[in-house]
Amino acid sequence: MSEAGVSTLEIRDLRVAVEGKEILSGVDLTVPKGEVHALMGPNGAGKTSLGYAVMGHPKYQVTGGDIIWAGQSVLGKPPEERSRLGLFLSLQYPTAIPGVTTTNFLRAALKGQGKELPAREFLKLIRSEVAALKMDQSFMSRYINDNFSGGEKKRMEIVQMAILKPEMAILDETDSGLDVDALRTVADGVNRVRGDGMGILIITHYQRILDYITPDRVHVMAAGRIIASGGSEVVAQIEESGYDPMLRQAGIEAEAAASAAV
Amino acid sequence: MTVAAKDLTKDYKYGFNDGDEFVFRATKGLTRETVIDISRRKNEPPWMLEFRLKALDHFRQRAMPSWGADLSGIDFDDIYYYVRPADEQGRTWEDVPEGIKRTFDRLGIPEAERKFLGGVSAQYESEVVYHSIRKDLEKLGVLFSDCDTGLRDHPEIFRKYFGTVIPANDNKFAALNSAVWSGGSFVYVPKGVRVEVPLQAYFRINTESMGQFERTLIIAEEGSFVHYIEGCTAPTYSRDSLHSAVVEIIAMPGATVRYTTIQNWSNNVYNLVTKRAIAKERASVFWIDGNLGSKVTMKYPSIYLMGEGAHGEVLSVAFAGDGQHQDAGAKIIHVAPNTTSNIVSKSVSKGTGRTSYRGHMKVYPKAHNVRSSVRCDALLLDESSRSDTYPYMDIEAEDVQIGHEASVSKVGDEQLFYLQARGISEAEATAMIVNGFIEPFVKELPMEYALELNRLIALQMEGSVG
Ligand SMILES: Nc1ncnc2c1ncn2[C@@H]1O[C@H](COP(=O)(O)OP(=O)(O)OP(=O)(O)O)[C@@H](O)[C@H]1O
Ligand SMILES: [Mg+2]
């Protein structure tokens, strides 16, 4: 299942440090094409850092291991190249860029990916995707994420994913801050692209999104590494008894679960 | 030296020159004789010569400004004060000497004229070589010519206002301009006339060590409207040139004047300009000032709100690249009650570029119920970039509402990462962030100029990263 190959994301013994401090201490995780995996774990476990490292955020220095996408290491490649190779990260806290309209942002992104469209087709596409996420058309002329509500930012991330059509997406708490209806809308959005054979890693704290998007596998991260993996039953366990039993089993003190709590 | 000049041209596409294109050139340096000669060649009335000579005295007496940017590199003896490029002013582009015409073609002026301008003036060195105004505007009594023509053909209006907003002794560089001024624009809009299409003047320096001293006088009569746009470029040389203009605006009651500048001098030009407007009752004046290029710019467009209900705005953008210093700002003087003003200053420094915002806000005791807001934002692109703010407020009235906000930011890692993570290259991402930063300014420009400005910024940004 984890053979290296087309459109598989393989994270091997990954170590990541920020400003000299180790945050990920040997993460192993493989998400093959067409599968949906969930990544759970206590606050500060390193989930967001993993997403950043995969996408090439310059602050997250890889100090060991490898990130292999479609059979090729992406280490050392700038984020734009990783994006062009088909990787996508929906941010936990999407960044506002004042003065840059959503439309211009999306146009530049498509152009950056070499997927530029004629003006009319482009507008048609973004209009329909904005509508699909039940967002008002006025968002297209607003500055990207600037004064968007929390939920609006999350929807806009999914709009971007739908437009850019990556092959592998990491959704970092895209479900947090969404109301019930929005959650369903976002889940529908994800399920739509899932059908195209995309690989997806959903970082989440809650079962509710996984009720809509059934994961093929669930991983639990704590203290900068994966401490458990399994099927959907893992989610139920966590809902029922929290992380404590798993942490104990992995020999991690609850307080140390967040690697950098000190 | 040639190598240095080439290096400078790298990002500057207007850096070409035409070789020698002139029919007369005064010897370098500034003497009484030079001034008399300029006046005589222009057949000016005695009062103007007198005005010039007084200004020259003042220029000589006045010390260099001790504040602002470093001007120690200016050598007043190494400057041509007057260069006449052609014998006649063209009414059609065919009348313009071939070499000069080609330059303006390359700058896109005739094309812009055909597309969306109501009148065009093209100044090359010291004189306006081409001039036109749309017939319908002419019929409405709108006057648009170079300043010399204004003085010659409309002496009554000209003399009434010339030098009244910026007296010759206002500052050292206004004095210099007053002594040797040539060209520039004279605009007169009669009562109630709305000039719906912009009038554009284009200023081009060609000669090395050139001094360009255009003079602009705009009079908007009661209830009228006019939008005047100026653009400037120069070739890149290793010796410095000096551009020292004076612009005077008089907005009569209820009139609105918009004055837009997109200055893009090569980085061997000292750009020291005095711009001031007077706004009478309910009049509005807008300075929209884009400063790119130049070696040093010192420019603080000002508005005197003289009549009740007058409104003034200064929106400016300064972009300082390596080795450049943009010392720009705004000055608003609230003299009358119920006057309002708005200053938005955006500056971007790249490499060793330096921007300074210098603001002066004054409210006189009798100016009740004044409302004003000042916002200046600086964006730094590199560790070596610098920005300073010098706001000065002198409020003598009591019931004023004044807001002041300032910010300095660096191009954020998170913003860059976000854009890059969507497939946008670092260079383009930086340019997008910069363009986003100045967007509040750009949206005040007519579309063609907005596009041009974005393009110029992109050019400036090239090679700034990776
Ligand atoms: N840029 C940074 N600078 C300093 N510390 C950081 C940085 N990014 C992450 N960390 C630290 O690394 C640890 C892991 O953070 P991360 O954001 O990856 O956790 P997470 O699992 O996503 O948590 P949450 O569930 O709360 O989102 C935390 O202790 C955090 O404080
Ligand atoms: Mg997180």
Q: What is the 3-state secondary structure (H, E, C) of chain A?
A: CCCCCCCCEEEEEEEEEECCEEEEEEEEEEECCCCEEEEECCCCCCHHHHHHHHHCCCCEEEEEEEEEECCEECCCCCHHHHHHCCEEEECCCCCCCCCCEHHHHHHHHHHHCCCCCCHHHHHHHHHHHHHHCCCCHHHHHCECCCCCCHHHHHHHHHHHHHHHCCCEEEEECCCCCCCHHHHHHHHHHHHHHHCCCCEEEEECCCHHHHHHCCCCEEEEEECCEEEEEECCHHHHHHHHHCCHHHHHHCCCCHHHCCCCCC
Is residue A197 left, alpha or beta, with left meaning phi > 0 and alpha meaning psi from -120 to 50? left
Cβ of A256 less than 6 Å from ligand 1? no
Contact between chains at A99 and B421 (C-beta distance less than 8 A): no
The answer to whether residue A1 sits within a structural domain is no
The answer to whether residue A2 sits within a structural domain is no
Residue B41: what pLDDT?
Answer: 95
Residue A3: what pLDDT?
Answer: 44
A20 Cβ neighbours under 8 A, 6+ residues apart: none
Residue B466: what pLDDT?
Answer: 29
Q: Residue A194: how many CA atoms within 13 Å on its side-chain side?
A: 19
The answer to whether residue A170 sits within a structural domain is yes
The answer to whether residue A105 sits within a structural domain is yes
The answer to whether residue A86 sits within a structural domain is yes
Residues of B with CB under 8 A from a CB of A: 412-415, 417-426, 428-429, 432-433, 435-440
| Number of separate domains in chain A | 1
Mutate to test the pocket of ligand 1, among A18, A25, A201 (most ligand atoms within 8 A of CB): A18
The answer to whether residue A130 sits within a structural domain is yes
ipTM of the complex in this document: 0.94
Domain span at residue A183 reads 8-259
Token pair of A259, please?
A: 């690697």
Residues of A with CB under 8 A from a CB of B: 55-59, 78-80, 82-84, 88-89, 91, 94-95, 97-100, 104-105, 108-113, 143, 160, 164
Q: Which residues in chain A land under pLDDT 50?
A: 1-4, 259-262
CA distance A124 to B301: 44
Across the A:B interface, residue pairs with CB atoms under 8 Å apart total 84
Residue B457: what pLDDT?
Answer: 80
Residue B418: what pLDDT?
Answer: 98
CB atoms closer than 10 angstroms to residue B13: 14
Residue spans per domain, chain B: 12-413, 414-466
Element (H, E) at B325: strand B325-334
The answer to whether residue A165 sits within a structural domain is yes
The answer to whether residue A3 sits within a structural domain is no
pTM tops 0.90, yes or no: no
What's A91's domain CATH number? 3.40.50.300
N residues, chain A: 262
Cα torsion at A236, A240, A244, A247 (round to 10°)? -10
pLDDT in single tens digits along all 466 residues of chain B = 223 333 433 467 788 888 878 889 998 999 999 999 999 999 999 999 999 999 999 999 999 998 899 999 999 999 999 999 988 888 899 999 888 898 888 888 898 888 888 899 999 999 999 989 999 999 999 999 999 999 999 999 999 999 999 999 999 999 999 999 999 999 999 999 999 999 999 999 988 899 999 999 999 999 999 999 998 888 888 889 999 999 999 999 999 999 999 888 888 999 999 999 999 999 999 999 999 889 999 999 999 999 999 999 999 999 999 999 999 999 999 999 999 999 999 999 999 999 999 999 999 999 999 999 999 999 999 999 999 999 999 999 989 999 999 999 888 889 999 999 999 999 899 989 999 999 888 888 888 888 888 878 877 776 443 2
Which residue's structure tokens are 């950056």? A112
Q: Tell me how many degrees the CA angle B39-B43-B49 measures, rounded to the nearest 5.
A: 35
Closest partner CB to B425 (pick from A55, A91, A112): A112
CA distance A126 to A110: 11
